[in-house]
Every structure is written in C-alpha cells, then in structure tokens.
Amino acid sequence: MSLEGTVAIVTGAGAGLGRAEALALAAAGADVVVNDVDPAAAAVVEEIERIGTKAVLVTGDVGERATADALLATALERFGALHIVVNNAGVLRDRMLFSMSDEEWDLVVRVHLRGHFLLSRNAAAHWRQRSKQRGRPVHGRIVNSTSEAFLLGSVGQPNYAAAKGGIAALTVSSARALRRYGVTVNAICPRARTAMTAEVFGPPPTDGPDPLSPDQVAPFVAYLASPAAGSISGQVFVVHSGVVALLAPPTVERRFDATGDLWTAADLDAQVGAFFADRDPERTFASTDVLDLP
C-alpha cells in the first residue's frame, strides 16, 4: 500500500478535503502537485515537504484547459512521472431551479464536471501512450469526487446535483475505457466538514474527534491510489466517519409490455398510469437509502 516513488496531482488541495487527501498521499510516500485557485495553498506544499516528500503548487482554475495542461506538464517536468489524479476542486452556487442564473449553472458544471474531464483526459492520454510504449499496463489511478446530491436530487442544487451525476457517469465510462492500460477510476461521495459544507453539517464538536473531519475520508483515497487497490475500478463509494459504503447500480423495478404491436394511450394509462396511481410521490429515482447510513 506504499506510494513511494509515485507522483500525484490533487486539485482543490489548498484546504479541506483536498488538503487532507494531499497530505495522506504524501504520508504514504507520494510526491504531490498541489492545485488550488488560491496562492495560499503554498502552505500545503510546506506541510507536505515537512512530511518528507516533494511538492509543488500550480495555481489555476480546473475548468480551464490551460490549468489541466500545466498540472500534467508540471508533474512530468518536476517529478518525471504521473501515477495518481485526485479530482477534488469544486464550488457551490445553490439556488432553486426557477431562480438559478445561467452563470450559476455554468460555473458549477464547468468547475466540477469539465474540471474532472480536462485533467482526467490529459492523464488518460499520457497513461495510454506510456502503456503502448512499454508494452504493458501502467500504474494509473483516478479518484473522482461526486456527491450524494446526485442520488438524492438535492432541492436547491440542480447545478451541483447534475454535475455530480455527470461525474459518476464519467467515472464508469473512464474505468471501462482505461482498464486495458492498468488504470483504475473510482469515485467517492465524501461526507466531510469543509468550507463548502459548513452550512450543511454545522460546526465541529468541541469535545473529542470530529467524525466528519476530512481526515476520515483521506485514508481511503490513499488506499484507492495504491497498488493494493488495483482490482477496484468503476465503483462509487460513500465515505465518512470510519464508514466505506459501496453503492450498487440502479435496478429495473418494473417492466411494462404493450398488449398489441404498438402502445396505445389507453394501454399506457391502464398499465403505467395505473401502476403510479397510488404510489407515494416521494418514491422517485432518488436513492434516499444512502441517508440511512449512520
């Protein structure tokens, strides 16, 4: 499970979950390219170097192609390789659907979904080329950050929920495409107390350890990045408070078949409409079971 000799990129690593993930990777032996929009993230570079591995800061918006290019180039030029990508950077612009502006939608989808795509695409192209040159699989790991918001259809977060749903789909697609090259791709739904979730989880407890500390999530990210997790790919996990919950894909609840060669309105109403006539309106595609996790 050692990451000695590996190189990682962690986006949004200036604070909160990204910082904890970067430090966990460094503690396992990885050199880290730290990314954030805030130059103050240089403090995380100093923390990593005190651990005993190397680090460098690349500031920039992950939704911009130039930032993704700079992150890959820095990893290769400064450390000579890239093995791990942790896509963590994100923003919130919460608002009800009917009140959301174009800019609030575009910003959240761009930073989250486009940001994941740009860096993952660059890393995937690099690993594919390396695998073909060497004639064997490489050690490549992508850990994406999605959220239970996409499972719940969070009211007031249509932009965030849509972006996180897209990241889950991107994760599965990427995992299937990169399997032959030795690359694994997984996603986590972290429950962690950060600046983004302060209003959701409130202040930390004043007595004892915080069960929602980002430090509760970071070890699992470091594990997924390790050689030991080479058989885990295309999965989505809920992670928090000492809990790792593997999510299952959707299942078919009910099948409806036309009674004739083609559906008629009456037939649809008799079968589909009748099925939903007395159904609880809260029972939708939303996966509220995740809320039952302690």
Could you give the CA distance from residue 243 to residue 207 in angstroms, rounded to a whole number?
A: 21
Is residue 2 part of the annotated active site? The answer reads: no
- Region of residue 199 (left: phi > 0; alpha: psi -120 to 50; beta: else): alpha
What's the DSSP call for residue 8? Answer: E
Give residues with Cβ within 8 angstroms of 214, minimum separation 6.
16, 17, 19, 20, 21, 190, 192, 193, 194
Query: Which member of 120, 131, 145, 147 is catalytic?
Result: 147
Largest Cα–Cα separation, the chain: 72
Could you give the CA distance from residue 79 to residue 81 in angstroms, rounded to a whole number?
A: 6
Is residue 54 part of the annotated active site? The answer reads: no
Q: Would you say 136 and 79 are in contact if contact means Cβ atoms under 8 Å apart?
A: no
Query: Which member of 145, 160, 226, 233 is catalytic?
Result: 160
Q: Would you say 10 and 145 are in contact if contact means Cβ atoms under 8 Å apart?
A: no
| DSSP-based three-state secondary structure for 146 | coil
Spacing of C-alpha 207 from chain mean position? 31
Query: Which member of 131, 145, 164, 226 is catalytic?
Result: 164
Is residue 164 part of the annotated active site? The answer reads: yes
What letter represents residue 277's amino acid? A
Instruction: Tell me the catalytic residues.
Output: 147, 160, 164
